[in-house]
């Protein structure tokens, strides 16, 4: 997230979860910092700053084919309510 956004990813995720909107952390970003790579040999070129940004600021919201128009509108409305408070 942009440092000037006025909120953190965790604040947004907590808000969405409180509204019954499922979220999940994105597995990805800087894989060199994932527990599975501790003690493993790999080559890293550079600081991987963009990968760190993805890892620290990305999440999924729950979706599946059974979502109705009303449900999708609720998600959009929840995002809008959160942003309005910022």
Residue ranges of the domains in the chain? 9-84
The answer, yes or no, to whether residue 1 has pLDDT greater than 70, is no
What is the pTM assigned to this prediction? 0.80
Residue 48's nearest CA partner among 64, 66, 34 is 34
CATH of range 9-84; options 3.90.1150.10, 3.40.50.150, 3.40.50.300, 3.40.50.2300: 3.90.1150.10
Beta-carbon neighbour count of residue 16 at 10 Å?
19
SS3 81: helix
Q: Which tens digit of pLDDT belongs to each residue from 31-83?
A: 888 888 889 998 989 999 999 998 889 999 989 999 999 999 999 999 999 99
């Amino acid at each position: 997230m942009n440092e000037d956004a006025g909120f953190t990813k965790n604040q947004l995720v907590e808000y969405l979860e409180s509204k019954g909107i499922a979220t999940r952390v994105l597995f990805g970003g800087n894989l060199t910092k994932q527990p599975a790579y501790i003690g493993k040999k790999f080559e890293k070129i550079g600081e991987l700053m963009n990968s760190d940004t993805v890892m620290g600021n990305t999440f999924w919201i729950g979706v599946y084919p059974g979502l109705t128009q009303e449900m999708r509108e609720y998600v959009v409305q929840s995002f809008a309510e959160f942003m309005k408070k910022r």
